Amino acid sequence: MASTQNITAIEAALIDLRSFLGDRVSAAEAVREHHSHGESTHPPGVPDLVCFPQSTEEVGGIVKVSARYGLPVVPFGAGTSLEGHVNALRGGICIDTRQMNRILRVSVDDMDATVEAGVSRKQLQKALENTGLTFFIDPGADATLGGMAATRASGTTAVRYGTMRENVLGLTVVLADGRVIHTGTRARKSSAGYDLTRLFVGSEGTLGVITEVTLRLHAQPEAVTAAICAFETIEGAVKTVIEAIQLGVSVARIEFMDDRQVDAVNRYSQLGLLVRPTLLFEFHGVSQASVEEAAQMAESLSQEHGGLGFQWQTTLAERERLWKARHDVYYATRALRPGSNVLTTDVCVPISELAECIVATRADLDQVSFPAVMVGHVGDGNFHVQCLLGPDQMAEADTFAERLVARAQGMGGTCSGEHGVGSGKKKYLKAEHGESLEVMRSLKRALDPDNRMNPGKVLDMD
């Protein structure tokens, strides 16, 4: 359990929580340990209690109990976050939303849906089969949609379909005092009042607990094709991306892998790609002709920058195999050095700075003592670095990550394109936001004056 002075409060909270949750609240050590971390290398934090609510009303009840006894609240979805978002750094109550997994409404005519926070992206995609609609945001892991909203997630299709910021229409949120609010409407635009939806999207559980999400859906494209293209150099691959975006080539995905990442993918997913810097393309359109026109333009640009020819993926099976391999890069990378720790970080820069940033980062990585790979959603300037670390290499990796962030911020970019801040990237926000950081603290104090909502994440308040 927690420190001695908190034992009484925790035991009292447990009694209150059992009165309406029954056995869906646990103080078992194994359950608490499971909820102490996500996928990151950041130090874990063990909660004192773990709750499994099944409704917004139950979440409201849990938060009221936490307020009564002064206990922190940490939301937990699938546990796939990479910056320590779910680590209960100050103990308290973990709210696991996975039993809140109902799809409440799908409107084919309005192209939107409302889901509970514990619905996973794959669950939603399955529910949309035979509707002609889909939800394109795919961070790779089968994350919950509440967690994706909380971290402002994106993925391989963001270059065309946007991030969670553009695809969340409204939210149901439980505030720190247990009040339930509804933000946004199902209308496609509004100029009525403050945009609270955007305030909570990306707030990482520090302002409230998201319990329901209303999402924008998209029509399934009539025509789809994909292609793989290896390049002589990293610079040639990235310049192809920059020109494709500048010329308005209609792409749904442009993914970059450096040669080390390609080698890892080949070993793990048996793809047999050339071990060179590589781009993965996918094109969506209303007709086969429109898709082919975009693909031909991209192929022509690649040839101008040292591309070694397009390898087409025309069947559904080929495309699914390709994108599954892309989504499995984390596990492919881990397999390169079994038993290692993996530091995964990301930055995002203006598209015009992308080539310089990636080339400089690869040169930087060539000087460190640990193996590392690069992969990215380069169509929107976002790329990731995965560092495979031995027991004594974490400090060196942290120093590299600081150089990477400084490089990106110096180019007008951000310390995180999609992983969020959590506890891992708080130290970079002052350089990025300056005096705006105190405005963020003012908002936090207004909504969570006791700093109980996921404390220690995003902002340092004390």
pLDDT, one tens digit per residue, over 354-371 is: 999 999 999 999 999 999
255 beta partners: 280
Mean per-residue pLDDT, 321-347: 93
Mean per-residue pLDDT, 279-305: 95
Residue 22 has pLDDT above 50, yes or no: yes
pLDDT tens column, 195-216: 999 999 999 999 999 999 999 9
Tell how strand 103-107 and strand 93-96 pair up. unpaired
> What is the structure's pLDDT at 1?
46
74 beta partners: 94
Of 159, 289, 166, 281, the C-alpha closest to 222 is 289
Query: Could you give the angle at which helices 259-269 and 316-327 cross, rounded to 10 degrees?
Result: 120
> What is the structure's pLDDT at 7?
67
> What is the structure's pLDDT at 3?
45
pLDDT tens column, 125-134: 999 999 999 9
Of 214, 218, 238, the C-alpha closest to 104 is 214
pLDDT tier, 2 (very low <50, low <70, confident <90, very high otherwise): very low
Angle in degrees, CA 187, 189, 194, rounded to 5: 105
What spatial distance separates the first Cα and last Cα of the chain, rounded to whole Å?
24
Give backbone dihedrals phi and psi of 423, rounded to 5 degrees, phi first.
Answer: -95, -15
How far is CA 421 from its chain centroid? 11
> What is the structure's pLDDT at 377?
92
Residue 249 has pLDDT above 50, yes or no: yes
Residue 5 has pLDDT above 70, yes or no: no
Residue 126 CA to residue 93 CA, distance in Å, equals 32
Give all domains of the chain, ordered by start, each with its CATH number: 8-96 (3.30.43.10), 103-218 (3.30.465.10), 223-327 (3.30.70.2190), 337-446 (3.30.70.2740)
pLDDT tens column, 81-113: 999 999 999 999 999 999 999 999 999 999 999
Residue 368 CA to residue 397 CA, distance in Å, equals 8
Residue 6 has pLDDT above 60, yes or no: no
Q: Six-digit token pair at 189?
A: 């635009």
Angle in degrees, CA 32, 35, 40, rounded to 5: 135
> What is the structure's pLDDT at 314?
86
Residue 149 has pLDDT above 80, yes or no: yes
> What is the structure's pLDDT at 25?
98
- pLDDT > 70 in the chain, percent: 98
Instruction: Please enumerate in sequence order all residues whose Cβ is within 8 A of that of 116, keeping only pairs 6 or more positions apart, or say none.
Output: 97, 100, 101, 102, 103, 104, 146, 211, 212
pLDDT tens column, 419-444: 999 999 999 999 999 999 999 999 99
> What is the structure's pLDDT at 294?
95
